[in-house]
Amino acid sequence: MTLIGGFFPSCYAALFSLCVISLATFTIMNNCKQTVWPGILSNAGIAPLETTGFALQNGESKVLNVPSSWGGRLWGRTHCFQDLDGKFTCGTGDCGSGKMEFTGATPIPPATLVEFTLGGDGGMDFYDVSLVDGYNLPMLIAPSGGSGHICSSTGCMVDLNSACPSALKVINLDGEGVACRSACEVFGQHEYCCSGAYGTPDTCQPSSYSQVFKSACPRASSYPYDDKTSTFTCIGADYHVTFCPMSTPR
């Protein structure tokens, strides 16, 4: 974690004094063979980061400085293009803004999500990889330099697009499986969405569809009440977020 000195609006009450804020570093890496357009959305009430959307070619990475109290989500968009009118659209992970940068819209499922809540109680960071809204890319979170807690890596490093149940599979015009939808999105039933009578941890259980995700990626969240096996903690770490980690072929 890096300490940066500077003047900020919250420091105006102590005019001419030096305020110090702490920052975490996110290194975002694209190991996929295809271009990935990461999107970043801050939680409600939290300021956007210095960028909310950009492109990473194969082998490229980008480093972002993130306030230690930041919370939000990060994901990858694929099969993106800009039309003659300048409208930016993606085949998976799009948010409907029509731009590479985001304007507060949420990602359109299905998309693999990385979720962070930094600087919680005792300065603890919480992070996870979620497949609750479906899957489009393998992703890995790897903390670096953290202390006091396990600080484990987590993610989904399997190509679930090839193993996706046929009822959930998203196929492009070339016949290629490019994403895997959630059962909630496809069927809209309470037992899949953990809503209605199934809206508590006791009544909402893993479905046969979410278990496909969990079997392939046991550290990733596969349904809304899967927190116990998929949320990880660390203190004072920087984070590496990798698309298509390891030897994933995409």
Alpha-carbon span 20 to 112, nearest angstrom = 34
Taking the CA of residue 107 as centre, how many other CA atoms within 13 Å lie in the half-sphere pointing to its CB? 35
CATH code, domain carrying 236: 2.60.110.10
What is residue 149's predicted lDDT score, i.e. its pLDDT? Answer: 67
- Asked, for residue 159, whether it belongs to a domain, the answer is no
- Asked, for residue 85, whether it belongs to a domain, the answer is yes
Nearest to 140 by CA among 11, 15, 248: 248
User: Across the strands, what pairs with 240?
Assistant: 27, 142
- Asked, for residue 196, whether it belongs to a domain, the answer is no
Helical H runs in 110-180? Answer: 160-163
Q: For residue 173, count CB atoms less than 10 angstroms from its CB and return exposed for 0-12, middle for 13-18, buried for 19 or more.
A: exposed
- 3-state DSSP assignment of residue 244: coil
Kindly report the number of other CB atoms within 10 A of residue 10's CB atom.
9
Nearest to 111 by CA among 161, 148, 60, 146: 161
C-alpha separations of 27 from 58, 71, 162 in Å: 15, 16, 28
Containing structural domain, residue 231? 2-153+227-243
**Does residue 7 register a pLDDT over 80?**
no
User: Across the strands, what pairs with 59?
Assistant: none
Q: How many domains does the chain have?
A: 1
Q: What does the mean pLDDT of the chain come to? A: 88
- Asked, for residue 114, whether it belongs to a domain, the answer is yes
CA terminus-to-terminus distance, the chain: 32
**Over pLDDT 90: what percentage of the chain?**
78
- Asked, for residue 46, whether it belongs to a domain, the answer is yes
Q: Supply 137's token pair.
A: 């890319």
User: For 140-172, what is each residue's pLDDT tens digit?
Assistant: 999 998 876 689 999 999 999 999 999 999 999
- Asked, for residue 123, whether it belongs to a domain, the answer is yes
- Asked, for residue 249, whether it belongs to a domain, the answer is no
User: For 58-70, what is each residue's pLDDT tens digit?
Assistant: 999 999 999 999 9
Cβ pair 189, 195 in contact under 8 A: no
What is residue 1's predicted lDDT score, i.e. its pLDDT? Answer: 41
- Asked, for residue 173, whether it belongs to a domain, the answer is no
pTM over 0.85: yes
